[in-house]
Structure 1
Amino acid sequence: MTSSDRRPLSNILVPALLFVAVFTLYAATAAPATLFGDPSEYQFIPAIAGIAHPPGYTFYTLLAKLWQTLAPFGAIAFRTNLLAAAVGAWTVIAVYLITSDLSASHLTFDVSRFTFYASLLAALCLAAAPDFWQHSIHANAHIVSAALAATHMWLLIRWRRTDNDCWLAVFALTLGLAAAHHPVTLIGVPAYGLFVLTARPRILRQWRTLLLLLGCLLLGLSPLLYYPLRSPSAPFGPTDMRTWEGFWGHITARGLRVNLFHFGLADQLDRALVFWSLLRLQFPLPVIILIAAGLILICSFILIHLLFTLNTVQDVMAYLLLPFVALSIAAGLGALAIAELELPNPKSPIAHCALCIVHCSLLILPFYQATLNLTRGISLRDFTVAEEYVTAVYERFAGRGEGAVLLSDWEHLTPLWVHAYTQGETLDKDDVQLVYVSTANPWVESVWAHIEQGDIYLPDYRPAVRDAGFRLLPEGPFYRVIAPPLTDTAPTHSLDVWADGRVHILGYDLPADTVQAGEHLELILYQSAPQPLDGIWMPYAQLGPAQARWTTDSRLLTTQWLPGEVVAERYELPIPFTLPPGEYPLRLGYADLSGGREELELSTGGATLELETVTVLPPAN
């Protein structure tokens, strides 16, 4: 087989092997099930053919629905997480192909022999970038935005290289799909237009080509018809998208526009410094130097996206995916630029060997970054917190007929919706009613609206509810909202200890007496004061050499206690990663923060009281 025969095979085989390798890496570190917040929404919305939060992500919804139908991998939640892995892997391949095509178009033969190394470097740098990796291991629409942007660049460069309008037609089609996905994917349109006009200035006079592009663009926009067709009967999402106001307001995310271009000219230097710190987290310093060397060819695309993203308040890391894609390409081009600069005698075997060594050495950098990511815990493979919360909700409320009310923010509701919509695990309203709390329905107003309906629970501590005069009683992972005074609760472990003769320590709950280093130990204390306190007193805890001096955040301060009421507070003791495994005594003390007394005398004698022994296990990673 000749060299010319082998080249087409390698052009297919290398990207295919790279896709398999990257997909395997992402799939191995992907979340196994639900997560809090938007990722879970991106799991159940396609499954029920609903409509996601603005701007709706219709292309993602249809793509994920197709993937969920065809991919035979586990439950819907995990299956959709794998879609992110597949899309992320394709984006890495697109970067490889873009760098290869740019190299073939602009470099000499003597340098183009290093195209493979440079293209592989660009692809691996993106694959190992923490922001990109994180978005490739859980369900989200933003990784699709990055994939569409990379696909746009590849199609345009392939069109420029081959002068075949079929590539330009496919570009127009994917541009329409991008518009049906998220407006952020259209920020590169000025750069795309400049590229097309520079490559073929006469295209404005080629009306047949323009009509072809318009037809492909309209075909790409066709997923937007999903909204008016589905909206009236959608099981989740807005129902008014058959009206122009409802349709346009949703796809342009009208309610979220306050987050865009939030910063002024005076803030741009600070925003640039923020971007520099984020860039250092994504790429090793030598790669950033290569990026600087390769920026010229794609600077317009990057600058437009950066100006938008760095002046946005919400989802900055998600929107930075698109510039990071372009910067990875720049890193590959920078590696080739080094080859051009350092080949004064391209036929010299010594120069050729030296460049091979340099490029092979550069390939170590993304592997170093990937290793660093894994040691820092980038993997979501063992993330089960959201599933544990769902289990806790069902164990606490299902089948009990209490008629309770669980007020929840978006983050805590979406995992429950995944189970309800995709697994048929619905909660009976006779057991518990789920109430969505938002800026339109704040926490305190929601409490008052349901106070006569039954016991009200919160998924976490809410100072606004406490400040409204209610007490928050810890119950498992929840807090029960109670009108003061609380007098009828009892701890698991009773105590009769006084701190400085004024605070009565009634007992404690210790949900677990075994904890891994790097996690936290939960302790619930029951306290009371027979007389009002005019100072802020706080407990503290010691576990062997580790000590937690708790702050006043998310606490009912002693100055707010009613005489004689029982105050139950949940405290967390962080366990250092460096704490050796073993058994340690858990000790409790009290401090007068207002009076500057770090240790108060306890009625048992001394400044601390031993509660029980806690076993510390080695850290998970």
Structure 2
Amino acid sequence: MNEENLTPAGELITAAYELGVAHPPGYPLFTLLAKLVIGLFPFGSIAYRVNLLCGLLGAAAASLLYYTVFRLSGSYAAGILAAGVFSFSRLTWQWSISAEVFSLNNLFVGLLMALTVRFEEAATAKERSKISKVGAFCCGLSLCNQHTIVLYVLCIVLWVLFQLFKGKELSFGHLLKLGLCFLAGLLPYLYLPASSYLNQARWTWGDQTTFQGFLTHFLREEYGTFSLAKSEAGSSMREMLLSQVTHMKTELSFTVPALAIVAWLRTAMQAKQEKSSMIWLFTGMLCIYSLFFAWRANLDITKPLFMGVVSFVLY
């Protein structure tokens, strides 16, 4: 079947139902989770079940955001406010009630942030070692969904390694174990060549039975590995950044960003040194993501279709 005949949501549902391969980079984790839910939930249509999965993932992401903000600020109200604003923002709501990979990506961002907080709060080296291994596995697993999370992963990995090194807890053996945990998280990608080899789906994308075919799909070479599209003359970085600010103003008004800035300043000034470093880490992650995306999003956002694509990925 021609992939151009399907919307992204329809394609993902079809790939999950028939155990095919979705568009690059393949989204093996989402496909397998959706297939599991399709088999376990005895009610509703196939599309309804996958949509329900995305709703549950979005709810879990909001819960993790609540936990992270509460642990950083010590305020239940701050956690509830942050989770509420996130949950009821238009794009969060939109992509948590339809079959898309964004709610799962949000879940992983929230999970990695929550694990970072737990790592910093750990009282013993043994506990930090355990959390870092779980985090390494989750970092690998998160890359089995949306690749844009790699920017967050890099920031967190470098920060955790620095903390371990500073505490003289980073041995070669520990580093090796972290690497193995990370690779274990990438195991769902074995699904791509397996699905392609079995070739039982009526709809699938590409051929991953060869190493080159797998790399082409994994690296999104058909789209451009570090770009949203191949051979597109896009808007400038300045236009992209202005679009982000305008989008924030439209979606959240001035009130929410103002409250966020006040909360950030208050928490950064009053937090203990270790929590202050996490606040700077999370702030840096957001800034790096926004700047990198504005640099590499090579689409003309004056066109409504491309603006929609940009808002999807930026979200």
Normalised to the residue count of structure 2, the TM-score between the two structures is: 0.80
User: Which among 106, 109, 127 is matched to residue 149 of structure 1?
Assistant: 109
Contact 1:45–1:52 (Cα < 8 Å) also in 2: yes
Distance (Å, rounded) in 1 between the aligned partners of 2:117 and 2:239: 34
Deviation at 1:142, TM superposition (A): 1.9
- Please state which structure has a larger fraction of its residues in helix: 2
**Residue-by-residue CA offset, 1:266-322 (whole Å, 9 max, x unaligned):** 93332222111110233232211122232763221101211233341352222222x
Kindly indicate whether the alpha-carbon contact (under 8 Å) linking 1:187 and 1:304 is maintained by their aligned counterparts in 2. Answer: yes
Structure 2 CA distance for partners of 1:204 and 1:267, relative to 1, 3 Å = farther
Instruction: For residue 239 of structure 1, report the CA deviation from its aligned partner.
Output: 5.5
| Matched position secondary structure for 2:236 | helix
Which residue, 44, 50, 66 being the options, matches 2:14? 44
**Is the Cα–Cα contact under 8 Å of residues 141 and 185 in structure 2 kept in the other structure?**
yes
SS at match of 2:130: helix
Residues 224 and 279 of structure 1: is their aligned pair in 2 closer, same or farther, counting only changes over 3 Å? same
Contact 1:130 1:281 survives alignment (8 Å): no
2:241 aligned with 1:272:
yes
Q: Match of 1:59?
A: 29
Residue number among 296, 306, 310 corresponding to 2:294 in the alignment: 310
Whole-angstrom distance in 1 between the partners of 2:154 and 2:21: 29
Give the counterpart of 1:117 among 71, 77, 83: 77
The residue number in structure 1 matching 2:174 is 209
- Supply the AA of the counterpart residue of 1:184: T
Match of 2:207 among 217, 237, 240: 240
What per-residue deviation string (whole Å, max 9, x for no partner) do you get for residues 418-453 of structure 1?
Answer: xxxxxxxxxxxxxxxxxxxxxxxxxxxxxxxxxxxx
CA deviation after TM superposition for structure 1 residue 233, in Å: 2.5
Q: 1: distance between equivalents of 2:215 and 2:310?
A: 24
Matched, 1:231 2:201: no
1:291 pairs with 257, 260, 281, which one? Answer: 260
Structure 1 residues 239 and 54: CA distance shift in structure 2, 3 A: closer
Report the residue type matching 1:192 in the other structure.
I
State how 1:461-480 maps to structure 2 within 5 Å: none
Answer yes or no: is the 8 Å Cα contact 1:180–1:224 preserved in 2. Answer: yes
Distance in 2, matches of 1:199 and 1:73, equals 48
Counterpart residue type for residue 177 of structure 2? L
Residue 334 of structure 1 corresponds to none
The answer on 1:71 being equivalent to 2:36 is: no
The aligned residue for residue 146 of structure 2 is 182
Per the normalisation by structure 1, the TM-score is 0.42
Cα 1:281–1:72 change in 2 (3 A) is farther
Q: Secondary structure at the match of 1:254?
A: coil
Give the counterpart letter for 1:88 in structure 2.
Answer: G
Q: How far 1:198 sits from its partner (Å)?
A: 4.3
Report if the CA contact (8 A) 2:196-2:209 is conserved.
Answer: yes
Give the residue type in structure 1 aligned to 2:54: A
CA drift at 1:150:
1.5
Q: Are the equivalent residues in 2 in contact too, given 1:310–1:316 (CA < 8 A)?
A: no
Change (3 A) 1:45 1:260: closer
Quick one: which amino acid aligns to residue 172 of structure 1? A
Residues 1:167 and 2:131 aligned together: yes
Alignment-mate amino acid for residue 20 of structure 2: G
Greater relative contact order structure (CA < 8 Å, 6+ sep): 2
Distance 2:292 2:211 in 1: 27
C-alpha displacement of 1:60? 0.7
Secondary structure at 1:180 match in 2: coil
Match of 2:314 among 301, 320, 326: 320
Alignment of 1:248-259 (within 5 A): 248-257=215-224, 259=228
Q: Which amino acid aligns with 1:196?
A: V
Cα distance, 1:199 vs structure 2: 2.9
Structure exhibiting the larger radius of gyration computed from Cα positions = 1
Higher strand residue share: 1
CA distance in 1, matches of 2:163, 2:45: 47
Partners of 2:44 and 2:96 in 1: how far apart? 18
Letter in 1 for 2:187: S
Give the corresponding residue for 2:94. 134
1:564-598 Cα deviation digits (max 9, x unpaired): xxxxxxxxxxxxxxxxxxxxxxxxxxxxxxxxxxx
Equivalence for 1:194:
158
Residue 61 of structure 1 aligns with an amino acid whose one-letter code is T
CA contact (8 A) 1:309 1:316 kept: no
Residue 214 of structure 2 corresponds to residue 221 of structure 1: no
> CA contact under 8 A between 1:233 and 1:239: conserved in structure 2?
no
- Distance, in Å, in 1 between the alignment partners of 2:188 and 2:157 is 23
Alignment of 1:387-536 (within 5 A): none
Deviation at 1:263, TM superposition (A): 7.5
Which residue number corresponds to residue 490 of structure 1?
none
3-state secondary structure, aligned to 1:277? helix
1:82 aligns with 2:52: yes
Counterpart of 1:470 in structure 2 is: none
Post-superposition shift, 1:41? 1.2
Query: For the Cα contact (< 8 Å) 1:101–1:161, is it kept in 2?
Result: no
Deviates more, 1:76-85 or 1:189-198: 189-198
- 1:269–1:45 CA distance, 2 compared to 1 (3 A): same
- Output the amino acid matched with 1:37: T
Unaligned runs of 5+ in 1: 1-35, 104-111, 322-621
Determine the C-alpha separation between the residues in 2 that align with 1:120 and 1:180: 30
For 1:187 and 1:73, the matched residues in 2 are separated by: 38
Residues 455-479 of structure 1: CA deviation (Å, up to 9, x unaligned): xxxxxxxxxxxxxxxxxxxxxxxxx
Structure 1 residue 197 displacement after superposition:
3.6
2:269 corresponds in structure 1 to none
Structure 1 pair 43–238 and aligned structure 2 pair: CA distance change class (3 A): closer
In structure 2, C-alpha distance between the alignment counterparts of 1:246 and 1:309, rounded to whole Å: 26
More deviation, 77-86/161-170: 161-170
SS at match of 2:223: helix
CA 1:169/1:267 → structure 2, altered by over 3 Å: closer, same or farther? same
1:189 offset after TM fit, Å?
Answer: 2.6
Q: 1:38 to 1:282 in 2, by over 3 A?
A: same
Distance 1:50 1:133 in 2: 27
Aligned to 1:300: 284
Measured after TM superposition, the shift of residue 52 of structure 1 is 0.5
Q: CA deviation at 1:93?
A: 0.5
Unaligned runs of 5+ in 2: 1-5, 266-278, 300-305
Q: 5 Å matches for 1:537-556?
A: none
> 2:241, 2:291 within 8 Å by CA — same for their partners in 1?
no
